[in-house]
Amino acid sequence: MSAFLVIDIGNTQTVFGLYEDGELAAHWRLSSGRYATPDELAWQLYGLFEQEGRNPKCIDGIMVASVVPRLDRTLTQACERICGLTPAFVGEPEIKTGMALDYKNPREVGGDRIVNAVAAREFFGSPVVVIDCGTAITFDIISPEGRYAGGLILPGLEIGLTALHERAAKLPEVSFARTDMMIGRDTATSMQVGSYWAAVESICGLIRRIQTLPGYQDVTVVATGGMVNVVAPDIRQLNHVFPHLTLEGLRLLAERHFA
């Protein structure tokens, strides 16, 4: 039986996935504590395996996508201590993704975005657009030829509300949430209504613009990310909602790299 630990280090959360024979056996989310020590992270990682009744020493390989370089060494030391293995990071020269990048500087593309593109092409073919709703909202576009064509980056679903609260003295702190209203009757509700429908309409509008490009009229649209289920019901152009797309992409790379 093959077993891989895959890890997606994001700006807000770090997501762990344990795969056994190609199936997601367990997954966990931790806050991406930028000042955590290797000892703290090792203790948390050990606890995750312990609660599932699994032996961390039985892992065949660890594949990581990270957008928080500060945490890379901390995670590496924690994995070496608990699993006895040094993780492989997407973006290292020896990690072959099989995805040609049309970016001016390929090193600028986050590992999570590459992994999403690899998984989306594997599962849905090309052309395909991946929308990842996390701290930022990213669009990753795979061309009809199966190449990483580029993408878009815009503020995440919660960032606008945070900025309003921090920069406008009378505006309260409000959580991002779906609402059926279109007219708010108080300040907090007005902020929720505006932020929610502005996010939905911006995503829908960007999809429509992409679909006007030559070769993308019938593009498959896939959504993922920690906040995706909040907005997905109102984005009619979505063909698939795939919450664990990043983990699946990491699994694919782990199977290829550690085989």
Residue 234 confidence (pLDDT): 96
Q: Is 112 one of the annotated active-site residues of the chain?
A: yes
Query: What is the three-class DSSP state of 182?
Result: coil
Residue 161 confidence (pLDDT): 92
**Residue keyed to tokens 């593309």:** 109
Residue tagged active-site, from 112, 132, 186, 234: 112
Model confidence over 68-103: pLDDT tens digits? 999 999 999 999 999 999 999 999 989 999 999 999
Phi, psi (5° rounding) for residue 4? -130, 140
Domain parsing of the chain, residue ranges: 3-89, 106-246
Residue 107 confidence (pLDDT): 87
Residue 247 confidence (pLDDT): 98
Collect the ranges in the chain with pLDDT lower than 50: none
Sheet architecture: strand order including 23-31 = 23-31, 13-20, 3-9, 61-66, 88-89
The answer to whether 3-89 and 106-246 have equal CATH topology is yes
As a CATH number, domain 3-89 is 3.30.420.40
Fold of 106-246: Nucleotidyltransferase; domain 5 (3.30.420)
Residue 135 confidence (pLDDT): 87
Residue 252 confidence (pLDDT): 97
Pairing mode of beta strands 13-20, 23-31? antiparallel
